[in-house]
A and B are shown apart, each in its own frame.
Chain A
């Protein structure tokens, strides 16, 4: 039986080499003493030093982090409320709203991007030529605000998709039980419903945050000229022929992602063993 697995394991190994070889090369060349991505010229950490002096990139990183945190938190609040609302609806209206909710998920990013760009250009044009703009003395333009709206819009569907299943698993009677025991509507929600759906909410928050950090296409179309995000800045950097700081940046991002994934996985594994142990204690017969 074991012998049988050798060709398939070789195939698996080759695919993993295909996936990781480019990343390993980026990491190796991030320590190259010369500018080249092709010829090794000795060990150096100069590209890391240069990376940390690249004000444009650091600014873009700051914008990206503020944007992603804000967009993820707002999308989580909006999406969790919406999920509870959808859950309370009749089946037909719920399925209509969920279908609309799916549009940003299934549409190509570029279509979401250009359609929102059209809306922003249209709305800003209308606002700036209206009396309101003169009255308030404000000129609106694309920038952080439009980016934030766009990010909330593509994040919220993920939050809803991760909260909805938790709501479906709820026992509908426990909320009423809490109310029968004298809890007000909000207290019952906070003490009974929220803890139950919390894993879904947190999951949605994390997905939303990573989607925001990673997004290039939608940000590219909605950011305007004033601000820039990390992904957009990376795009302008990789379009130039030689940019060795990119190697250093990739290495750092890889390490951050690796550490994050490892922590999440170890935490999950611990929780699973803990819950398995608890179950074993509850059912000693099994």
Chain B
């Protein structure tokens, strides 16, 4: 069955539709409209430094929150019976299969100024209470079209991508390893700290990649939950290719810089991860 030529059509396909497009991005990033070689696209990017900051800060925040929620959840679920684990994993995957735009749309009406959270708070007399104590005139809490709403959208949409890899790694941990640690006198916390946590790090690393990359490059979430007030890298790139600001050269340069920063971050993280794994094996 050894026939390496079977790969030929796909190799040609990859060259045409994976490699060539990326080379085009590089070429576009270093040229101007007239076709001359230039670095202007990169020097013009200085105006957009806030977009870089916002994107990375919000994506890092969302990733950290996803770890803080997703890790305990995955760990707790791994201790449940087989049946519960199966149903729980199915329920984690179920929202993932629904288009993320629909899930985001739901939050738009929840976070609105006269949305469901504010209605609820008004109905239980929360605003009256606050107003009578502080003498203010609070009618609602402003939540939609803020950076917090964007982070919430990222966490809500991408949390399953954090839970699944962590869960599958913890679930595969050999129970004899844990029992051995217990036999050697480790208590619950020590077993977690010295055995389960180091062994689960690869899952955390792939979870981080799967949450961070879509978060840092999103444009739909900032448009829908941020009200277009916070310009993110995704918005910026989209504007250069399909929006009014049509300039694929600048867009390519921004995309290239974003890709390089993300790649460097992932490389550093994987290095760190491998180091941890090495320690765990020793």
Residues in A lying within 8 Å of B, measured CB to CB: 5, 8-9, 11-12, 15-16, 18-23, 25-26, 29, 37-38, 78-79, 81-82, 84-86, 88-89, 97, 100-101, 103-104, 106-112, 114-119, 121-122, 149-150, 152-153, 156, 160, 175, 185, 188-189, 193, 210, 214, 216-217, 220-221, 230-231, 234-235, 238-239, 246, 249-250, 253-254, 257-258, 260-262, 265, 269
Residues of B71-127 whose CB lies within 8 A of A:
72-73, 76-77, 79, 86, 88, 90-95, 97-110, 112, 114-116, 119
Q: Select B224's contact among A89, A115, A239, A258, beta carbons within 8 Å.
A: A239
Q: Select A193's contact among B1, B4, B69, beta carbons within 8 Å.
A: B1
Contact status B106-A118, CB under 8 Å: no
Majority DSSP secondary structure for residues of B touching A: helix
Across-interface contacts of B25 in A (CB, < 8 A): 111, 114-115, 118
Contact status A25-B109, CB under 8 Å: yes
Across-interface contacts of B93 in A (CB, < 8 A): 261
Give the docked Cα–Cα distance between A19 and B90 (Å): 13
Q: Select B13's contact among A12, A153, A262, beta carbons within 8 Å.
A: A153
Interface-central residue, A108, A188, A221, by most chain B CB under 10 Å: A108
Contact status A257-B98, CB under 8 Å: yes
B135: Cβ under 8 A from any A Cβ: no
Residues 191-230 of chain B, each 1 if its beta carbon lies under 8 Å from chain A, else 0: 0000000000000000001000110110110011000000
Name B254's closest neighbour in chain A (CB-CB).
A114
Give the docked Cα–Cα distance between A239 and B226 (Å): 12
Nearest Cβ in chain B — how far from A229, in angstroms? 10
Interface size grouping (class) on chain B: 35 or more
Give the docked Cα–Cα distance between A18 and B234 (Å): 26
Contact status B219-A234, CB under 8 Å: no
Residues in B lying within 8 Å of A, measured CB to CB: 1-11, 13-14, 16-22, 24-25, 28, 69, 72-73, 76-77, 79, 86, 88, 90-95, 97-110, 112, 114-116, 119, 156, 159-160, 209, 213-214, 216-217, 219-220, 223-224, 234, 237-238, 241-242, 248, 251-252, 255, 258-259, 262, 266
Name B115's closest neighbour in chain A (CB-CB).
A38
Give the docked Cα–Cα distance between A117 and B97 (Å): 26
Nearest Cβ in chain B — how far from A11, in angstroms? 6
Nearest Cβ in chain B — how far from A3, in angstroms? 14
Contact status B99-A253, CB under 8 Å: yes
Nearest Cβ in chain B — how far from A156, in angstroms? 6
Contact status B24-A119, CB under 8 Å: yes
Nearest Cβ in chain B — how far from A132, in angstroms? 17
Nearest Cβ in chain A — how far from B22, in angstroms? 5
Give the docked Cα–Cα distance between A73 and B10 (Å): 14
Give the docked Cα–Cα distance between A11 and B115 (Å): 25
Contact status B224-A88, CB under 8 Å: no
Across-interface contacts of B10 in A (CB, < 8 A): 78-79, 81-82, 85, 156, 160
19 contacts between A and B (CB under 8 A): A8-B72, A11-B72, A15-B73, A79-B10, A84-B1, A85-B8, A88-B7, A100-B14, A101-B14, A108-B217, A108-B258, A110-B238, A111-B259, A115-B24, A118-B25, A119-B24, A221-B241, A238-B102, A250-B98
